[in-house]
Amino acid sequence: MLGRVLLWASESARLQRFISRSRVSQPVVKRFVAGDRLEDALTAIRELNGLGIGGILDLLGEGVTDPAGAQAAADEYLTSIQRLPEEGLDTTISVKPTQLGLAFDLDACLAHLRRLAAAARDANTTLEIDIEQVEYVGDTVTLFRRLREDYDDVRLALQTYLRRTPEDLNAMADLKPKVRLVKGAYSEAPEVAFQSRREIDAQYRVLTDWLFDHGSDPGIATHDDRLIEHAKRAAERSGVGKAGFEFQMLYGIRRDLQEALVAEGYRVRVYVPFGSAWYPYLMRRMAERPANLRFFMRALVGA
């Protein structure tokens, strides 16, 4: 119940204005967001690289409603990608399709993605396509399939809690898709998404097995110890070993676990968001993990 309330809060413009203007929210923002500027994110990724952890660079923002906004986001991403060779950092680039205009022009969004994928290839890195609300999932899968025609290293995030995800994966089996498997972080109706942790975790295990059997280089995006152990067993059973997949986690969460997995010889990447549009992202992080909410509340009361 609390998680659903927080997901509702992530879409509330009134709450966004109140919390964004509150100085007491800043300690929480600093924990989960690298900063407002690209330089902040590059510094955070450099620190992660020093620990043997890769980055996933993410410019915060979503739900763009006009071509000029989509163009501006694409240009900012292009600038970020072009910085990477001179920085020598180990990071991929994560993009949200609605940030690039998916909500109003699929073909223009695809053109932006193609431009960014080409730049990423020139910079010796790859794109990771985020997945968003269920109404955009079908078009996002279409974008992924069309992008894969020329860029077979692109990775797509898929959400475990959506009832449709097994069908989406089976429909892409011919691609041996690279997938980042996440639990899901939007408020969706019971008709389209599982609501209980038990159901979501059960599907996560099934889809993890599918990715090791039919996908390539899975990204297992979870902080859940039990699901991590399941992924380890699935990797061993499938024969891909520690080098054949990676764990993906969020900036500001479970650094101890990230370092422990690296020490065991596993590949780890951390999702590093930056930018001023942090409110929806932060609220979804609160909804996902009660420990994050406790940290937030302590900051609000000055504890």
pLDDT one-digit tens code per residue, 201-223: 999 999 999 999 999 999 999 99
Tell me what pLDDT residue 300 has.
40
Query: What are the beta bridge partners of residue 218?
Result: none
For 34-277, CATH number? 3.20.20.220
Q: Model's pTM, two decimal places?
A: 0.86
Residue 176's nearest CA partner among 213, 221, 143 is 213
User: Which residues are marked as active site?
Assistant: 130, 180
Sign of the CA dihedral with 95 first, then 280, 98, and 39 last: negative
Tell me what pLDDT residue 284 has.
65
Tell me what pLDDT residue 213 has.
97
| Greatest pairwise CA separation for the chain in angstroms | 53
Tell me what pLDDT residue 176 has.
97
Query: Where are the extended beta strands (E) located within the chain?
Result: 54-59, 91-95, 127-129, 155-159, 178-182, 219-221, 246-250, 267-274
In the chain, where are the structural domains located?
A: 34-277
Tell me what pLDDT residue 233 has.
98
Which residues fall within 8 angstroms of residue 150, CB to CB, at 6 or more apart? 114, 117
| Structural Rg of the chain based on CA atoms | 18
Which residues of the chain register pLDDT less than 50? Answer: 1-3, 5-10, 16, 18, 24, 295-303
